[in-house]
Amino acid sequence: MDNHQLTRLLNDAEGVLSPDQARDIEVVYQRLKKIARGQRFKIRGTGVNTTMLVNEAWIKSQNESRTFNDRQHFFAYCALAMRHILINEARRNRLVTYCGDSGDYEQAVFKESDYLLDLETHLKQLRAYDERLEQVFVYKFFGDMEFSDIGEVLGTSERTVFRDWKKARAMLAAAMQ
């Protein structure tokens, strides 16, 4: 299946799928699972499992009014969805810390929640400085997208995306120390 057919399939959530289409959707779903598994290794202890992260991102992508230009646009959207899911879970974890009675605030789940919330704060500051730097970081970090795919989504070259990735990482590392 070519890119155009896959895009049309992702945009048409109501149709009955042929066996070939179901196999193509399964490939997309497996790619999302790989991305989510990578998130679980980058951000341990968030309390979010891989399947939950994929399913939530998939449900968000199937919004009635949502259409995708191409495969890269779909994965970029899922990267943003995974970011929001993880940040919302981190906020819930912090709420448990402040309202709960567990007394064990040194658990990994709370440390990772602090890390994610701190990262989100610095991403907002990075967005205020340069929106494209923030987008490149989100697509690469949360979506595990290739530089060439990010370049297609943002309408820029792969080399520019790579430079933006290095710059965003350096700025975030300096801000979070």
Over residues 57-71, the pLDDT tens digits come to 888 887 756 778 778
Which range has the worst mean pLDDT, 18-22, 24-28, 35-39, 149-153?
A: 18-22
Q: Tell me the mean pLDDT in the region 15-36.
A: 79
Q: What is the pLDDT of residues 87-117, one digit of tens each?
A: 888 787 776 655 555 555 555 556 667 778 8
The DSSP letter of residue 44 is T
**What's the pTM value of the predicted model, to 2 decimals?**
0.73
Q: Tell me the mean pLDDT in the region 139-148.
A: 90
Which range has the worst mean pLDDT, 108-117, 131-140, 155-164?
A: 108-117
The owner of tokens 């658990």 is 107
Residue-wise burial string across 115-151, b where 16 or more C-beta atoms lie within 10 A, e elsewhere: bbeebbebbeebeeeeebbbbbbbbbbbbbbebebbb
What is residue 20's predicted lDDT score, i.e. its pLDDT?
75
| Inter-residue contact 140 to 150 (CB < 8 Å) | yes
Residue 32 has pLDDT above 80, yes or no: yes
Mean pLDDT for all residues in the chain: 80
Higher pLDDT, 42 or 22: 22
What is residue 114's predicted lDDT score, i.e. its pLDDT?
78
Residue 158: pLDDT band with limits 50, 70, 90? very high
Burial of 35: CB neighbours in 10 Å, binned 0-12, 13-18, 19+: buried
Give residues with Cβ within 8 angstroms of 11, minimum separation 6: 67, 68
What is residue 77's predicted lDDT score, i.e. its pLDDT?
87
* Other CB atoms within 10 Å distance of the CB of residue 17: 13
What is residue 122's predicted lDDT score, i.e. its pLDDT?
93
Give residues with Cβ within 8 angstroms of 70, minimum separation 6: 3, 4, 7, 152
Q: What is the pLDDT of residues 33-90, one digit of tens each?
A: 888 887 766 666 556 778 888 888 888 887 756 778 778 888 888 888 888 888 888 7
Q: What is the CA radius of gyration of the chain?
A: 18
The DSSP letter of residue 142 is T
What is residue 162's predicted lDDT score, i.e. its pLDDT?
96
Tokens in use for 147?
Answer: 């530089």
